[in-house]
Every structure is written in structure tokens, then in C-alpha cells.
Amino acid sequence: MTVRSQGGMDRTRLAPGENAAAHDGFMNAPVVLQAAASPVSPALVLRPWRMEDVAALVEVSRDPALRQWANSVVDDDADGARWVQAQQQGWAAGNRFGFAVLETQPGSVREQLLGNVVLKEVAAGKPAAEVGYWTAAHARGRGVASRALEALTNWAFDTFKADGLERLELLHQVDNLASCRVAQKSRYNFNTTLPAAPPAFPRDGHLHTRRTSA
């Protein structure tokens, strides 16, 4: 069954534990987060993915590192549209919240796509959810992932603490050293090493955790 929200976007039926009221609010007024400028990078804007992002998404998805580590293959506009649609379905269902990370150069109205951060596996009454991220190759090493992750983390705890959210989990393959560094910088403490689980996780992984009080 499909439910049409007031915001006009189709969504599938809410599963048990999903918070209809909160997520109707997201559909009516899209969430926009900000991260302050750093000495090497302008301020960041985080907002839900839109169909107009598809061309830039396809462009950044050519990067082999993104394909290797982010476990997502977008080859053309059709793949890109499906991927964006999946993010929009997550917002509508209230269990996955993907943000495009963008920057605007001073004096320009054009936003440039720099990356993605996502809060996933969210359900009312569930104490844990998961975060994920990637940064476009041209924007790496400027604190994009860590600043965007901080903004996402604060929003997640502010928004879902009342629903029972206590901790956020971050998983990366053991040899993804850049991702491990992002986790450390963002106060996601190393928790344990998880065994490989192919095909999604062909190598052992690190589980990092951040709690509401961190």
C-alpha cells in the first residue's frame, strides 16, 4: 500500500516502530543542517537528496575509491535516479535519512556536491542507529566527512533521543584507514572488530560507537 503525505511524496506503509508524526513533519519541511567553515573549506549545507543532484552524483561516483568502500555503484543517470529515489523513500518511511553535503563558494549561488552522510536503521524504541558517509574525491582531506558527520550526529540525537536513541554505530572495513580516522576525529570510539560477512563486508570491520553523552 502507498500513502501520500501532505508534502506530495509517495511512501510505503510505515513499519511497526516507525514514527509517523515526526516523519510527516520531515516531508512537509525538509531538514537543512549546516556545518561551519574551516580554515581550508567554506561552510557546508546538508539537505535531503533531490533528483536535481543526479548528474553530480553520477560524476562523483566514477571514483574507484568510492565504488570500493561505499558499496554503492552508480554508473549512469538511471542508477543515480534510483539511488536518489531510495533516499527519498527512506525519508518518507522514517527509517533512513540521507543528506547531500554541499558547499557554496562565496559570491556564487551554485551549490557544489561534496558528499553524502546518512543516518540509517532508525526505529522508534530502538536504542541504536547507524551512520555512513562518503566524500567526493576532489573534496577529500578538508574535513568534509568529519564536519558533516558531526552535524548529522547532533541532529540525530536531538531528533530521536525522545524515541529512545542512545547510541550511533559506525562500521568500516579494517583497511579503510581514512574512515577509521574520521570515526576517531568525530568521537566515535572503537568498540570491537567484527568478522567479515561477504558479500557486503568482504573483510573484517571495525565497529565504532558514539553515545548521547559523548
- Judged by the rule CB under 6 A, the positions of this chain that interact with ligand COA are 65-66, 69-70, 133-135, 140-146, 172, 176-179, 181-182
Residues 6 or more apart whose Cβ sits within 8 Å of residue 206: 171, 172, 173, 174, 180, 183, 190, 191, 192, 193, 194
> Which C-beta is closer to ligand COA: that of 70 or that of 123?
70
Note whether 72 and 78 are within 8 A (CB).
no
> Which C-beta is closer to ligand COA: that of 94 or that of 98?
98
- Residue 100 pairs with which residues in a beta bridge? 47, 116
Note whether 10 and 4 are within 8 A (CB).
yes
Q: Closest separation between CB of residue 9 and ligand COA, Å? A: 27
> Which C-beta is closer to ligand COA: that of 27 or that of 57?
57
Q: Closest separation between CB of residue 188 and ligand COA, Å? A: 11
Note whether 152 and 131 are within 8 A (CB).
yes
Q: Closest separation between CB of residue 10 and ligand COA, Å? A: 30
Q: Closest separation between CB of residue 7 and ligand COA, Å? A: 30
Tell me the three state secondary structure of residue 20: helix
> Which C-beta is closer to ligand COA: that of 18 or that of 130?
130
> Which C-beta is closer to ligand COA: that of 26 or that of 134?
134
CA distances from 145 to 78, 107, 118, 134, 153 (A): 26, 24, 11, 7, 12
Q: Closest separation between CB of residue 122 and ligand COA, Å? A: 18
